């Protein structure tokens, strides 16, 4: 079975621009979570979705938003990009809403210049 897939792999944007990152969960998984990983740090929780509804949100500004589609894929949107948004953005899928087992994709590396 295919694992979690994310697109694009790499992205370079300019300050003030908008970006959309995409994620497809493992087949049969209904939950998707998003994390930001800055170089040298552990991932930091952004959002969690189950059955197309937001179930959890981390400590990120309103410039960050997300949604989950009927096929359980998800998008993460970031507006008004800042240099500090440069990071690896990770998507994780879970088989249920307990979120104990989270399987990560390869990530999207975003560079803001």
Partner 1 sequence: QKEVEQDPGPLSVPEGAIVSLNCTYSNSAFQYFMWYRQYSRKGPELLMYTYSSGNKEDGRFTAQVDKSSKYISLFIRDSQPSDSATYLCAMKGGGADGLTFGKGTHLIIQP
Instruction: Supply the minimum distance, in Å, between the C-beta of residue 23 and partner 1.
Output: 11
Instruction: Supply the minimum distance, in Å, between the C-beta of residue 19 and partner 1.
Output: 19
Report the residue number, 15 or 97, with the smaller CB distance to partner 1.
97
Residues 6+ apart with CB under 8 A from 70: 52
Q: Using the 8-state DSSP alphabet, how is residue 25 labeled? A: P
The answer to whether 107 and 7 are in contact (CB under 8 A) is: no
Binds partner 1 by CB under 8 A, chosen from 24, 93, 105, 110:
105
Tokens coding 49: 């979705």
Interaction between residue 101 and partner 1 (CB under 8 A): yes
Q: How far apart are the first and last CA of the chain?
A: 37
CB atoms within 10 A of CB 93: 27
Instruction: Supply the minimum distance, in Å, between the C-beta of residue 112 and partner 1.
Output: 18
Residues 28-57 that bind partner 1 (CB under 8 A): 33, 35, 40-46, 48, 50, 55-56
């Amino acid at each position: 079975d295919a694992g979690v897939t994310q697109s694009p792999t790499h992205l370079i944007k300019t300050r003030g621009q908008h970006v959309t990152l995409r994620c497809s969960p493992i087949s049969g998984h209904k939950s998707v979570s998003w994390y930001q990983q800055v170089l040298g740090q552990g991932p930091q929780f952004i959002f969690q979705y189950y059955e197309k509804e937001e179930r959890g949100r981390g400590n990120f500004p309103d410039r960050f938003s997300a949604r989950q589609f009927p096929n359980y894929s998800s998008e993460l949107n970031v507006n008004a990009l800042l240099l500090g948004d440069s990071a690896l953005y990770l998507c994780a899928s879970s088989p249920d809403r307990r979120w104990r087992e989270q399987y990560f994709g390869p990530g999207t590396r975003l560079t803001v210049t």
